[in-house]
Structure 1
Amino acid sequence: MSQLNITVIGATGMAGSAIVQEAVKRGHTVTAMARSENDLAALAKKVAGIHTMAVDAFQVPAEDWHAADAVVDAFATDPAHAYLHIDLATRLVAELRGTNKPRVVFILGAGSLQTGADHHLVVDDLRKLPGSDQFIAIPESQYIELQFLRSVKNVNWVGISPSRDFTAGPATKVLMGTNTLLHNAAGQSHTTAGTMAVAVLDEIEQPQHRQTRFTVADK
């Protein structure tokens, strides 16, 4: 596989840092983007050879996006600012309309996946949980983000959703699906950040999906 230039937004978060590590392990050139200089410095000590950009992704000029072969949106925020998931997706799309490069990979939530015999959305179950008002804005916003992306036909994008439980941890063998919440043979619906990172890099290196969303889980 030839070396690619990969930019990771939210590179110091759980998913972003795992993706940075996997990309470097595979020999790619990585630009790690985050708002905190201190967090980026800590990541650079852990993962040698990365380029870092301490910047708000909303302030990045278009030419920086176009310089990458792939951009991974692993942006994370608190529920009070959940709308920024939608805002960042719309900004990236606006900057990249009518292009085939870079490939943009959006890390989406599990809330937009279907589950149950009636194929209802996972976010509907999440709303029923005690205390859901403290977090529900995140899966709701990521569902709206996916709805927006599905209308985009002139940007080279792909979305990837984890399973219901998305936690730190090393990669396992990967289960893959499309729009239905996955469970492994033990009935668990779980994705580690390591598994997500492997799925992201596999998709960047050998694209199997275009302008659609798929989902991955730990096997």
Structure 2
Amino acid sequence: MKIGIIGATGMSGQKIYHEAQARRHEVTAIVRNREKAQQLLGADAHLLVKDAFNLTFSDLADFDVIVEAFSVPIGKHLGYLHLDIAAHLVHLLRNQATPRIIFILGAASLLNDQNTPFLESIKKAPGAEAWIDTPATQAYELELLRTATNVNWTGISPSLNYVDGPKTEYVRGENHALFNNAGKSEVNSGTLATALLDEIEQPQAKQTRFTVRNAD
């Protein structure tokens, strides 16, 4: 498949790029900085160098799947850009069967056992006002996507603790946060990349969100 990754130089994007390559997909990193992308992904990485907000439908039309792995620095009050990029891509891809678009969403919109989003408890954390805009806006991003009934979208949320690490076996769920027997909700970036590529190759979630955690 032809897969384009927006934000391919980030923690998620790098792992997804390499996992897609390992599975012999035709993968393109959609990035703003050519030199940074070549340093992180390899000098021979296939690149589309363009700001994501300037992408047009013609830029995306030849892909089978677009992965939106866009991220912003925490604490810079730029969380609103998650909503902006989602709105831009939804606008471009309305009423199109392809490319399918997969959004990497935050964990704050996952539900606890009282069916309440974890965002509500996260807001109460000490010093949350300095960084809450990012998880809050990613929760709003999911709400936006749920209204996009004429867009071929899927969302994936990491577990509550999302860390850079190698791929493992994983457990998959839907809208509730997943915990192991020790009460830990954690997923590695490599594990998320594996689950995302599995979803690309064997689609199960259409116009909905799913979540994963490390199996161990």
Counterpart AA for 1:64:
D
Q: For residues 212 and 44 of structure 1, what CA distance do their matches in structure 2 show?
A: 30
Shift of 1:186: 2.2
d(CA) in 2 for partners of 1:50 and 1:103? Answer: 22
Aligned to 2:14: 17
C-alpha RMSD of matched pairs (Å): 1.2
1:36 is displaced (CA, Å) by 2.1
Match of 1:69 among 64, 76, 80: 64
2:213 corresponds in structure 1 to 217
Is 1:82 the equivalent of 2:42?
Answer: no
Distance in 1 separating the partners of 2:117 and 2:162: 17
* CA shift for structure 1 position 185: 2.1
- Look up the SS of the partner of 1:124 in the other structure: helix
Mapped to 1, the partners of 2:121 and 2:169 lie a distance apart of 27
Paired amino acid for 1:20:
Y
C-alpha separation in 2, matches of 1:124 and 1:19: 30
The size of the alignment, in residue pairs, is 213
Structure 1 letter corresponding to 2:179: H
Matching of residue 191 in structure 1 with residue 194 in structure 2: no
Match of 2:148 among 147, 152, 161: 152
Structure 1 residue corresponding to 2:135, chosen from 136, 139, 148: 139
| Residue 49 of structure 1: how far off its partner (Å) | 4.8
1:64-143 residue pairs with structure 2 within 5 A? 64-78=59-73, 79-116=76-113, 118-143=114-139
SS of alignment partner, residue 81 of structure 1: coil
Structure 1: gaps of 5 or more residues: none
- For 1:206, give the aligned amino acid: Q
Contact 2:14 2:41 in 1 (8 A): no
TM, length-normalised to structure 1: 0.94
